[in-house]
Amino acid sequence: MASDTRIGDVEVFDRVARLYDLKPATRRRKLEPALALADRDIGRVLDVGGGTGQGVRSLDLPDGVVVDAAAEMLARAREHDVEGARGDAARLPVADESVDAVLILDALHHMARPDAVIEEAARVLRPGGVLASLEFDPTTVRGRALAAAEHLFGFDSRFFTAADLAAKVRAAGLSASIPRGGFEYTVAGVKRS
């Protein structure tokens, strides 16, 4: 699959992949409040728009897989022994009900079809599984600054409030909540049996 800016911010990440891990890494404590809501043990984790695999690596689980559209980001993930598949988050190359948790971390605002991405996350979750999406609130001072900086950098980022993202998660059929609020918030969605 060729890099395609129509599906999201991908080409820029291909260009900066070698430097990406210089940014502060995703921390496990930011994900745990959402993952704790799962109604099943978490074994297989799918990190959507997972880039270099920071999310999977922070959880230190044996069965974590990244799906990302940027080949260079996936190459960096593989250097960290994280398995990866190239694809569009809005059309996941993953079977129905095959994972216990889906992570979408600092990525949904870069994707062109966020509603389809969340529907795909709901499709691949096993009953009792959980979606954890970490995003940034554009109504906060830091959120406005981040949005302006990303647009200057050339990204097409579109940010959501936590309430708006929770509504999208609910619309995809998951039980939505906001276990962590603020500038950098987490929305969870549990797939009820």
Among the residue ranges 67-75, 118-126, 159-167, 169-177, the one whose residues contact ligand SAM (CB under 6 A): 67-75
Residue 135 is a binding residue for ligand SAM (CB under 6 A): no
Contact between 75 and 56 (Cβ < 8 Å): no
Question: Residue 138, SS3?
Answer: coil
Q: Can residue 73 be called a binding residue for ligand SAM (CB under 6 A)? A: yes
Closest CA to 86 of 156, 169, 4, 25: 4
Stretch that binds ligand SAM, among 1-9, 94-102, 157-165, 179-187 (CB under 6 A): 1-9
Q: Does 46 bind ligand SAM (CB under 6 A)?
A: no
Q: How far is the CB of 110 from ligand SAM (least distance, A)?
A: 4
Does residue number 11 form part of the binding site for ligand SAM (CB under 6 A)? no
Which residue carries 């745990």 as its tokens?
Answer: 32
For position 108 contacting ligand SAM by CB under 6 A, the verdict is no
The stretch near ligand SAM (CB under 6 A) out of 105-113, 125-133, 168-176, 180-188 is 105-113
Q: Is 2 exposed, middle or buried (0-12, 13-18, 19+ CB in 10 A)?
A: exposed
Give per-residue burial for 31-56: e unless 16+ CB within 10 Å, then b: beebbebbebebebbbbbbbbbbbbb
Least spacing, CB of residue 186 vs ligand SAM, in Å = 12
Q: Does 51 bind ligand SAM (CB under 6 A)?
A: yes
Interface with ligand SAM, residue 10, by CB under 6 A: yes
Q: CA angle, corner 70, sides to 2 and 9, nearest 5?
A: 95
35 forms part of the interface with ligand SAM (CB under 6 A): no
